A and B are shown apart, each in its own frame.
Chain A
């Protein structure tokens, strides 16, 4: 059997890697992919806890996280396509349209 702490450590490592991608990279596409990594590490934690406490709610919430992620990616990529059509850039720092 795999100990619970191993799954949680894997979730921690993936979360930190994804946060590094979100905070350090300047490419919007890579930032979006790192967001996927963050959500995946959360899913690993949900399923590990749901298994070790013999509770279905972990898996159910993981399903909802996956569904919400699909919606988020569709909207984000639509925004990205519209953005690149208006202003040909992929750098996060150049996108200041909503700065107010």
Chain B
């Protein structure tokens, strides 16, 4: 049952990821990326991380993709649609990609350590509560650093996108 759902979500996410790269129109790419993020959040649920699935939907689908769509609508993409798709003469990058994919596939398939089917130890108790306790005790400093980074990015984006610099 789990495996069937995983295969379904994985297949749809790979197809939509290919659509992101291959679509000519950036709006289509953005919509396909949104679908891909929804599939990935479903996979997070299957992997036993419901909190992460919620964060994925809120942050990626709700915030980042809306930002992307706003920017696409602000910018004139007609010229981008007309331009030549996947220009030739990029053979080194293609070879590099094939090598990268083959290497990672070989490493994963070769190794026996990745064949685990059962989690190491079944956790008991409320998982989200333990996760948030770990964040707010052991990882409090990185958490605060992340909030400072978000504030700096907010201010920086406003300053960058302003009409008159200075």
Binding partners A and B: yes
Interface residues of chain A, those whose CB is within 8 Å of chain B, are 1-10, 12-21, 23-27, 29-30, 32-34, 36-37, 40, 43-44, 47-48, 50-54, 56, 59-60, 62-64, 66-75, 77-82, 84-85, 88, 90-91
Decide: B67 and A77 in contact? CB cutoff 8 A.
yes
Contact residue among B51, B115, B130, B152 (Cβ-Cβ distance under 8 Å from A4): B115
Looking across the interface, which residue of chain A has its beta carbon closest to that of B122? A54
**SS class of chain B's interface: helix, strand, loop or mixed?**
helix
Main SS class of interface, A: helix
Known: A33-B29, A82-B160. A91 touches B97 (CB 8 A): no
* Total A-B Cβ pairs within 8 A: 226
Whether the pair B21, A21 counts as a contact (CB closer than 8 A) is yes
For B, the interface residue count at a CB cutoff of 8 angstroms equals 85
Contact B21 A54 (CB under 8 A): no
